[in-house]
Amino acid sequence: MRKSKAETAETREYILTTAALVFRRDGIADTSLSDVMHAAGLTHGGFYRHFQSKEQLVSEALQKSFDISFDGLEAAATGKHADEAVSALVNYYLSPKRRDNFQDACPLAALGSDLRHGDAETRGVATVGWQRLIGILQSKFDGLTAREARIRATAMASTMVGSMMLSRILEDTAASNALLKDTREFLAHR
Amino acid sequence: MRKSKAETAETREYILTTAALVFRRDGIADTSLSDVMHAAGLTHGGFYRHFQSKEQLVSEALQKSFDISFDGLEAAATGKHADEAVSALVNYYLSPKRRDNFQDACPLAALGSDLRHGDAETRGVATVGWQRLIGILQSKFDGLTAREARIRATAMASTMVGSMMLSRILEDTAASNALLKDTREFLAHR
DNA sequence: TGTACATCAGTGAACGCGCGTTCACTGATGTAC
DNA sequence: TGTACATCAGTGAACGCGCGTTCACTGATGTAC
C-alpha cells in the first residue's frame, strides 16, 4: 500500500490542516491522535509515518493555524489604509462568524491558556504568532511614534484575543454577540 | 477513622481551595484527581466522600477561584473613587506578581479556553464570574451613560483577561513584563 | 527499457500507563436507648 | 449519663477504559542493474 512521494506529502499536509482545525475547535487535551487521523480519513496507526509525537503535531498544527488565520486577517485589510484598515481588521477578527467557524479562528483565542502548557517549541511558535498579530495592527497605524504604535497594537491585540476567547465561553448567543459588538465599538472609537 | 462533622466540612473546603489553585496553575485536563488529593494531603480514594465527580469539583473550584480572585480585586480599589479606583484595579489585575502567583489569579485568564469545554454548570459559573468582573469595573466609572459604561467595562475586562493570559504564554520574562506594562499604560490613558 | 529487490505508507492489533471511579476495610464519631 | 450499635471519612487496591506509542503485515512505489 505504499504511496508515491507526492501523495505522502499531500497526506502529511492534510493531517496538519485537519489537526489545526480540530485542535482549535475541540482543544488539544480533548483531541486524541485517533480523533485527528479519523477526521483526516485515516487510521491512527499511520500517524508515526509522518510525525514523531503528538507534541510535534501540536507544534506544527499551531504554526499552520497561525498561517491560515492571519493570512485571512491580512487579506481583510489589503488595499485599505490607516483607520479604515484598522476597522476592517477589528471587525473581521471579532465577527460572530469567526467565533463560530474554527476554520480560520485565531489560535491564541481558541487555544489560549492551553498554549502555556505546551513544550518549548509550541510556546515559541505561539510567541512568533503573537508578534505577527501585533505587527499586522501596528503597520496600519498612522501618525504615531513607534512607542505609541507598539502600546496601541499590544493593547488592541490583547483586547481582540480576550474578547473572542470570552465570547466562546458564554452559552447565551445574544450575550456573546453583545460582548463582541461592545468590543468592536470600543476599539473603533479609539 | 471517621472524622467529626466539623472536620469533614473543613476537609471539603480545603480540597476545594487546593483544587482552585492547582487547576488554575496547571490546567484542568493536566490535573488528575490524585494530583488534587495529594496536594491536599489526602489519598485519592477519599475524593468521592466529598464530591460526585471530577466535573463537580471543577465547577465548585471555579466558583471558589472567582471568589478568591475577585474579592482580592475589589479590595484593591476600596476607598478609592473614579479614575483612581480604575487605575488601582488595572494595576492590581495586570501585575507581574499576579501573573506568577496563581493563588489569587483570575480563572478567566488562567483557564481561559478550557472553560469553553466545561459542562453547562461550569460554563454558567464562568458566565456569572465574567459578569462580576464587568460589574466591578463599571461601578467605578464616573460621568458615563449606562451604555458607555457597559461598553467600556466590557472592553477593559476583555483587554485585562487577554493580556494576562497572553503574558503567561511568553517564555521571555522581559517581553511578558513589557506586554503587561503596555496594556496597563493603554488602559490608564483612556 | 525491463526486471528484481528494497522501501515504506497505511492497517489494525497490541502494549503499558494513568485516568476517573468503585469497593472492602478500618476505626473513630454519631445516635438511640 | 453510659452503653451498644450504626455510620461514614479516609485508605489503598482494583476496575475498565482510552490514551500515546509500537509493531507485524500488506502491497504499491522507488531504485539498482
CB A111 within 8 A of CB B113: yes
CB within 8 Å of chain B, chain A residues 16-55: 26-27, 29-30
Asked if the Cβ–Cβ distance from B155 to A163 is below 8 Å, we say yes
Model confidence pLDDT, tens digit, residues A68-107:
999 999 999 998 888 899 999 999 999 999 999 999 999 9
Q: What is the pLDDT of residue A82?
A: 83
The bases of strand C with some atom under 7 A from any protein CB are 7-13, 18-24, 26-30
Q: Which of B30, B124, B171 sits opposite A123 (nearest CB)?
A: B171
Q: What is the pLDDT of residue B186?
A: 96
**Is the per-residue pLDDT at A190 higher than 70?**
no
What is the mean pLDDT of the segment spanning B168-180? 98
Model confidence pLDDT, tens digit, residues A97-133:
999 999 999 999 999 999 999 999 999 999 999 999 9
Local confidence band at B177 (pLDDT 50, 70, 90 cut-offs): very high
Q: What is the pLDDT of residue A76?
A: 96
Contacts of B108 in chain A (CB under 8 A): 166, 169
Q: Which of A29, A112, A166 sits opposite B158 (nearest CB)?
A: A166
Which residue has better confidence, B103 or B6?
Answer: B103
Taking CA atoms, what residue in A is nearest to B150? A182
Q: What is the 3-state secondary structure (H, E, C) of chain A?
A: CCCCHHHHHHHHHHHHHHHHHHHHHHCCCCCCHHHHHHHCCCCHHHHHHCCCCHHHHHHHHHHHHHHHHHHHHHHCCCCCCHHHHHHHHHHHHCCHHHHHCHHHCCHHHHHHHHHHHCCHHHHHHHHHHHHHHHHHHHCCCCCCCHHHHHHHHHHHHHHHHHHHHHHCCCCCHHHHHHHHHHHHHHHHCC
Model confidence pLDDT, tens digit, residues A13-53:
999 999 999 999 999 999 999 999 999 999 999 999 999 99
**Is the per-residue pLDDT at B190 higher than 70?**
no
Q: What CA dihedral angle connects B16, A114, B116 and A178, to 10 degrees?
A: 120
Q: What is the mean pLDDT of chain B?
A: 96
Amino acid identity, position A33: L
A49 touches strand D (CB under 7 A): no
Model confidence pLDDT, tens digit, residues B56-66:
999 999 999 99
Asked if the Cβ–Cβ distance from A27 to B152 is below 8 Å, we say no
Model confidence pLDDT, tens digit, residues B65-105:
999 999 999 999 998 888 899 999 999 999 999 999 999 99
B51 CA to C32 C1' in angstroms comes to 29
What is the mean pLDDT of the segment spanning B118-138? 97
Residue B107 DSSP class: H
Q: What is the pLDDT of residue A81?
A: 83
Characterize B132-156 residue by residue with b for buried, 16 or more Cβ atoms within 10 angstroms of its Cβ, and e for exposed: bbbebbbebbeeeeeeebbbbbbbb
pTM: 0.95
How many A-B residue pairs are in contact by the CB < 8 A criterion?
Answer: 142
